[in-house]
A and B are shown apart, each in its own frame.
Chain A
Amino acid sequence: MAYAYLFKYIIIGDTGVGKSCLLLQFTDKRFQPVHDLTIGVEFGARMITIDGKQIKLQIWDTAGQESFRSITRSYYRGAAGALLVYDITRRDTFNHLTTWLEDARQHSNSNMVIMLIGNKSDLESRREVKKEEGEAFAREHGLIFMETSAKTASNVEEAFINTAKEIYEKIQEGVFDINNEANGIKIGPQHATTNSTLSGSQGGQQAGGGCC
């Protein structure tokens, strides 16, 4: 299917926080109480619409165990967005956020949009990390923040889509160089024909339907 842009996402965070479940909920709209362990990396894809444009999300879902960091580090390359996930019922997964963030900042391009996610918000009775703590951490490090539940689907759409909106805004502001694929953004076939005139006015829209 034709799309205007393709954004590469990476999902990171400690093992067992629900990264694969968030992805499954987002791409398939279902929840698996016991998900297979992720070894290395798995993939998801979905089309979303922002500002009337079709955007394809290509999502890299990584293994969370510390030992795999040296491998997953190479997957930051070319990511436009990252979902950094912790589990609100396990404080240690929140405590590790700083090292995840350092890793992400060091190995990605500086414009990568990072969304902090406190997952498992349905397990209120087992909560160990207050929502305010997540908000404070996000504010301090300049991240967007949301609490989600992969189980009930609460905020899952929003988390993925708001990240894309932020990336999209950065493109509009000219922060992202969309012609450099290392930024994790690819111009889709829908755009390709008008690509050469992209810098100028977009008046002479030809093929490609209602985009731009």
Chain B
Amino acid sequence: WRSIGLDVSDGPGHSPPSPRQSVRKNLDFEPLSTTALILEDRPANLPAKPAEEAQKHRQQYEEMVAQAKKRELKEAQKRRKQLEDRCKLEESIGNAAQTWNQEILPNWSAMCTSRRVRELWWQGVPPSVRGKVWSLAVGNELNITHELFNICLARAREKWKSMPTAPPTEPETEDASLSLADREASLELIKLDISRTFPHLCIFQQGGPYYDMLHSILGAYTCYRPDVGYVQGMSFIAAVLILNLDTPDAFIAFANLLNKPCQMAFFRVDHSLMLKYFAAFEVFFEENLPKLFVHFKENNLTPDIYLIDWIFTLYSKSLPLDLACRVWDVFCRDGDEFLFRVALGILRLYEDVLTRMDFIHNAQFLTRLPDHISPDQLFSHIHAVHMTSKNRKWGQVLQALQERNSPVLKR
């Protein structure tokens, strides 16, 4: 027998067989499609097969065809199941989006604390309503209006204009105006950093569709809060907001997010206050994962080593983006406590690996987490983290540490 062209079942317009498929062909595997197999007698110039042999071959042929059919059926069933699952998932996202849009968002203040909404929230906010939910949950304590954003943006543009342009090609720029150097350096830095924000997405870089928006938000913020200015890490937060909100609303959410106590402590790089957050984190670390806690202590692996990146970028740099957005969902609801809970969830998820590695491997692992992390797995570990220590909640532990005067945290 021989197999005729493998693409019999594929109509025109199907993609050409992948190299892997052609390897299969060469290996003389039975083709997957039963239509591709034909039983033939020996060519006329050769003596005919004895009846017995012919019978045996026919039997083998039929078995093969039957098996191939069975396999095809199984494949088809699997495909159908996959499709069903995807449809189910899409449907559930669609349903959830509908619930959010029609029931929850219109009755926000009444419903946002209800148990049902909280449960739905934990499962991840559908991308189509994510921006709205984040905006509502973060709020606008600062009462920033679109007008204010435009004023800040105009001021930033004014500054950019007065700045010498395109420094890389003109070697003289830096010396000229040292008095303005600092502020300009900050604006210059924004430009440099935008190109280094999610570079693999290729949308924030110069010439990309979101370059101007990111530039605008960061520039406007330096005019809105010159006392804070631009600090590295902000570009990631602004970028994630831009992906979910239009520019003025992204700015409002951005400024209000950064205004939260934890974010202010970090972005003003108030070192002693940051140490209090780390110390509070360690209280819950020891409580939840005592074995790993001791292992880290023995290896001098202090929490700042991994927490700084995680907290400054709200996990957007360290976790896959869709997973980071799910973290943001609950962070917008629960506040800074959740950021530290996620950190414990990550440590819990990888506890076995981390307990076996030394300082450098752990430090490398935690500052560069695996590319693929199962969202469900991570969230079930986050869920399992208990945020009480000796009957005290996160806020109480943190406050107690803040009230104690001198921070005693040695590296």
Contacts and interface: CB of A to CB of B under 8 A. Distances in A.
A185 B189 CA distance: 35
B231 A16 contact: no
Contact of B199 (A34, A41, A68, A95): A34
Interface stretch (B46-54, B144-152, B288-296, B306-314): B306-314
B174 A39 contact: no
A116 interface: no
B309 to A, nearest CB: 4
B232 A67 contact: yes
A92 B317 contact: no
Contacts, number: 86
Interface stretch (A70-78, A154-162, A164-172): A70-78
Given A34-B195, A91-B174, A68 B269 contact: yes
B341 to A, nearest CB: 20
A111 B181 CA distance: 34
Interface residues of B, number: 39
A89 interface: yes
Contacts of B305: 40-41
B205 interface: yes
B233 interface: yes
Number of chain A interface residues as a range: 20 to 34
Contact of B367 (A42, A65, A91): A42
Nearest to A69: B269
Given A16-B192, A67-B269, A126-B171, A43 B185 contact: no
A175 B33 CA distance: 76
A41 B367 contact: yes
Contacts of B169: 126
B168 A92 contact: no
Given A34-B199, A63-B232, A67-B232, A15 B367 contact: no
Interface string B196-209: 11010000010000
Nearest to A6: B360
Interface string A88-101: 01111001000000
B239 to A, nearest CB: 11
A34 B205 contact: yes
Interface in A1-45: 15-16, 34-37, 39-45
A37 B197 contact: yes
A39 B233 CA distance: 7
Nearest to A56: B360
A35 B196 contact: yes
A177 interface: no
Contact of A126 (B168, B197, B205, B233): B168
Contact of B168 (A63, A65, A89): A89
Given A71-B308, A126-B171, A58 B360 contact: yes
B304 interface: yes
B367 A43 contact: yes
A103 interface: no
Interface in A43-89: 43-45, 58, 63, 65, 67-68, 70-71, 74, 77, 89
A43 B360 CA distance: 7
B271 interface: yes
B175 interface: yes
Contact of A36 (B181, B185, B199, B231): B199
Contacts of A41: 305, 308, 367
Contacts of B196: 34-37
B308 A39 contact: yes
A37 B232 contact: yes
A36 B367 CA distance: 12
A126 B169 CA distance: 7
B2 interface: no
A20 B360 CA distance: 16
A37 B308 contact: no
B264 interface: no
A95 B182 CA distance: 13
Contacts of B175: 91
Contacts of A89: 168
Most chain-A Cβ atoms within 10 A of its Cβ — which of B197, B235, B269, B274?
B269
A41 B360 CA distance: 12
Nearest to A93: B174
A90 B174 CA distance: 8
Contact of B411 (A37, A45, A77, A91): A77
Contacts of B411: 74, 77
A40 B304 contact: yes
B229 to A, nearest CB: 8
A138 B193 CA distance: 29
B396 interface: no
A63 B229 CA distance: 17
Task: Report, nearest first, the 6 A-B pairs whose CB atoms are least far apart.
Answer: A40-B308, A34-B199, A37-B196, A39-B309, A70-B271, A43-B363
13 contacts: A34-B205, A36-B199, A37-B236, A37-B317, A39-B232, A41-B305, A58-B359, A67-B232, A68-B269, A71-B304, A71-B308, A91-B174, A126-B168
Interface of A: 15-16, 34-37, 39-45, 58, 63, 65, 67-68, 70-71, 74, 77, 89-92, 95, 126-128
Given A37-B235, A67-B229, A77-B411, 4 more contacts: A15-B193, A34-B205, A36-B196, A71-B269
